[in-house]
Amino acid sequence: MSFITVDQEKCNQDGICVAECPTHIIRMDSKEDYPTPTPDFNDVCLKCGHCVAVCPTGALSLDWLSPKDCNSIKQELIVTPEQAEQFLCGRRSIRVFKEKRVPRTILEKLLEIACCAPSAKNQQPWHWVVVQEPAEVRRLAGMVIDWMRMIIQNSPEAAEAMGFTRAVVSWDEGYERICRGAPHVIVAHADKDWGFGSEDCTLALSLLDLYATSIGLGACWGGYFYKAVNAYAPLSKALGLPSDHLAFGAIMVGYPKFKYQRIPIRNRPRATWK
Ligand SMILES: Cc1cc2nc3c(=O)[nH]c(=O)nc-3n(C[C@H](O)[C@H](O)[C@H](O)COP(=O)(O)O)c2cc1C
């Protein structure tokens, strides 16, 4: 059974779908031919939808995706290079939040956008835990501190190198460095045996971070938090992670209390040009 349908009335036989298919499983043997799937199509297709997305005439459909299912790319919404530069370089890790919850519909939208990230073999391996309750975020941050106290006791040098002592001292003084008092935390996790879980989840969280910024939210990676999820079983259990999954990133989200005015300078690219 073929998974491709080509509307021959619409197809202009330009071969773009053939050229763009990442796994080369669409072919046209001559210019008079129409795109057809190779015999291994069903086994090899990544389900990336590029063939449908790229066709200028909307002639090609897959059994799970037709041009009508896809949002069009609106020319008037394409960002200018100046807008992109300010937006990308002006994003900041936000660590001071208003005491205001983000509505669930907005948190859902963040996840939707995150799921548009690239992923190796289009596996989209990410799963999410969204901690919605600010009190629960605080409780989980306390569990990270419990874990840190354990490490400080068992391997004081390692704990010092990783900044755990400072984090614990801050906590005891009433300053929460783990989730920074954010109202929500989002954890990305994936099957530990998938070789690109780290890269895929990081990219998804990065889109989430950028989109959050674009809608006036603030976000900050929770490095301590997700490392603790993988190292401290009570925390992983509290989040309900499956036993064969690892957390590959966590991000705090909320409304920023303050507005940044300037873009700080970063290191110049350390590139070798060959
Ligand atoms: C993997 C990773 C882990 C991080 N962990 C934390 C963290 O636990 N707490 C925190 O406040 N910031 C954390 N950050 C934010 C960095 O400190 C921040 O990106 C860096 O200082 C640069 O600032 P900017 O993001 O505003 O450019 C983390 C960032 C990354 C990429």
CA distance 160 to 165: 6
Identify whether residues 105 and 176 lie together within a single domain. Answer: yes
Q: Which numbered atom of ligand 1 lies nearest the CA of 95?
A: 11
Q: Is 223 in the pocket of ligand 1 (CB under 6 A)?
A: yes
Identify whether residues 157 and 247 lie together within a single domain. Answer: yes
Q: What is the mean pLDDT of residues 72-77?
A: 96
Residue 16: give the domain boundaries: 4-69
| Digit-coded pLDDT (tens) for 167-191 | 999 999 999 999 999 999 999 999 9
pLDDT at residue 2 in the model: 56
CATH number at residue 40: 3.30.70.20
Which residue, judged by its Cα, is nearest atom 31 of ligand 1? 221
Among residues 36, 69, 102, which one ends one of the domains?
Answer: 69
Q: Is 88 in the pocket of ligand 1 (CB under 6 A)?
A: no
Report if residue 102 sits inside a domain. Answer: yes
Identify whether residues 27 and 149 lie together within a single domain. Answer: no
Report if residue 223 sits inside a domain. Answer: yes
Identify whether residues 106 and 217 lie together within a single domain. Answer: yes
pLDDT at residue 121 in the model: 97
Identify whether residues 217 and 115 lie together within a single domain. Answer: yes
| Digit-coded pLDDT (tens) for 11-66 | 999 999 999 999 999 999 999 999 999 999 999 999 999 999 999 999 999 999 99
Report if residue 118 sits inside a domain. Answer: yes
How far does the centroid of ligand 1 lie from the alpha carbon of residue 220, in Å?
Answer: 6
Identify whether residues 206 and 233 lie together within a single domain. Answer: yes
Q: Which numbered atom of ligand 1 lies nearest the CA of 222?
A: 8
Identify whether residues 231 and 172 lie together within a single domain. Answer: yes
Report if residue 93 sits inside a domain. Answer: yes
| pLDDT classification of 3: cutoffs 50, 70, 90 | confident
How far does the centroid of ligand 1 lie from the alpha carbon of residue 93, in Å?
Answer: 6
Identify whether residues 148 and 224 lie together within a single domain. Answer: yes
Report if residue 95 sits inside a domain. Answer: yes
Number of domains in the chain: 2
- Residue % of the chain over a pLDDT of 70: 99
* pTM for the structure as a whole: 0.96
Q: Which numbered atom of ligand 1 lies nearest the CA of 202?
A: 1
| Average pLDDT value for the chain | 97
CATH number at residue 151: 3.40.109.10
